[in-house]
Structure 1
Amino acid sequence: MKEGGEKLQDAQKEARQFQQAATEIRQAIQSVPELEPLAQNLMIDQTPEGLRIQIVDQDRVSMFPGGSGQMYPQTRQLVMQVAKALAKLPNKLSISGHTDGIPFTSGAGRDNWDLSTERANATRRALIAGGIPEERVQDVIGRADRDLLVPDQPGSPRNRRISMVLLRESKTTTAPAATN
């Protein structure tokens, strides 16, 4: 079992590695001219779970055709660039797909659960094609419209996104508060 100081050092090292991966992803996108317009679709932040990379639809820039689980070629290329940066780290990945709150027409035989899962799986396949070993994928989740990025606008294109989380290996524990 690691001591508190060692755990903190591991967590700090991991945070630096995550920051480096985020920088590499942004630089890779800027270095590929056809991907530069997609830079606005990329959101990268650190969460308690790990480094979250989200590719978010914008008003006129979608990552997938409407109602489809097949990525546009530029989306695949963007995910491949993300894979190159993430392949350098050993952490497991969690992948989730999200849709907006607009339901499919009745009788479509599909719904937002199906669509979000298809898009998460398409992302998994692109990451593996980009060099991520399959055993690093911890889970692939379809979230449908249950975790909206813009909750007060369920129809917003920004709710349609794929999220890849590079999971933390080190779990930091906070010291109990001192009592008097």
Structure 2
Amino acid sequence: MSKRRNRFEEEHEEHIDESWLIPYADILTLLLALFIVLFASSTVDKAKYESLMEAFKSELTGTKIESKDSGLSVKPSDKEINEQKEKEQPATAPEEAPDQSQEEIELNQLKEQLTKYINDNHLEAVISLQDTKRGVEISLKDVILFDPGNADLKASSFKTLDVLVGLSKTVTNPISIEGHTDNVPIKNSKYQSNWELSSARAVSVLHFFESKSIAKERLQFVGYGEYQPLFPNDTKEHKQANRRVNIVILRKG
């Protein structure tokens, strides 16, 4: 009787096999994760939802996901692709530069030819060139055109003026010829003031252009005297720079 009781007590004291709890806990964990992801994905589109379901199916059943686009890393929708492209594109596309007008093309060609002539003949010290809102301005110091206090063109200036006339014929723009002096009072009975001297010099250049078949309606002149200097009349060099004749190829309009 005691042996039978001892055997029963030994069998009763043996532990029950609890190995089944491990997969059970794993399943509960996966189910919990599933519901959490479903809650978090409640606003995800249908394609993402189906992909998530396939991913969990693979985890639970051990089946292989055949589609390379399935799973958690889903292919973005067309809407997302378009939104991404909009973010990557610049806010505003750069505006294309407007085509140059025929007038601007002609004036640029004229300026290039004038620059070449000045450089080839080493005239940078007496002739300057600039492109302004008014037009292409050619500035000639008085020493290349006139003797001091005189408005008659020197014969040595004809070659340069011939080139300027020839280039002026490549366009049809109006031409303004403008005389300037320094502030030294004129000591010449022929001219009462620097106004008269600057005007007479401008007229001399105008007549030269007119004699070379430049249309009269294209030509105009003005004498500014000493009242539009480039520099203060405080040095010999500044006074020399202020004594000039400008030939301006004016922009139309």
TM normalised by structure 2 equals 0.54
Cα distance in 2, alignment partners of residues 25 and 131 from structure 1: 20
Matches within 5 A, 1:1-180: 9=99, 12-29=101-118, 36-57=121-142, 61-105=143-187, 110-137=192-219, 139-153=220-234, 156-170=239-253
Provide the alpha-carbon RMSD of the alignment: 2.4
Deviation at 1:106, TM superposition (A): 8.2
Cα distance in 1, alignment partners of residues 171 and 207 from structure 2: 18
Report which stretch shifted further, 99-108 or 78-87.
Answer: 99-108
Cα distance in 2, alignment partners of residues 74 and 95 from structure 1: 19
Deviation at 1:124, TM superposition (A): 0.5
Deviation at 1:71, TM superposition (A): 1.3
Cα distance in 1, alignment partners of residues 213 and 124 from structure 2: 21
1:101–1:154: 8 Å Cα contact kept in structure 2? no
Q: How many residues align?
A: 154
Q: Higher relative CO (CA 8 A, sep ≥ 6), structure 1 or 2?
A: 1
Q: Which has the larger radius of gyration?
A: 2
Q: Secondary structure at the match of 2:173?
A: coil
Deviation at 1:126, TM superposition (A): 1.6
Deviation at 1:164, TM superposition (A): 1.1
Output the amino acid matched with 1:147.
Q
Structure 1 residues not aligned, in runs of 5+ = 1-7, 171-180
Q: Which has the higher helix share?
A: 2
2:118–2:127: 8 Å Cα contact kept in structure 1? no
Q: Secondary structure at the match of 1:140?
A: strand
1:98–1:143: 8 Å Cα contact kept in structure 2? yes
Output the amino acid matched with 2:145.
M
Deviation at 1:25, TM superposition (A): 2.4
Q: Secondary structure at the match of 1:165?
A: strand
Counterparts in 2 of 1:154 and 1:95: CA distance versus 1, 3 Å: farther
Cα distance in 1, alignment partners of residues 166 and 227 from structure 2: 30
1:56–1:63: 8 Å Cα contact kept in structure 2? yes
Counterparts in 2 of 1:143 and 1:24: CA distance versus 1, 3 Å: same
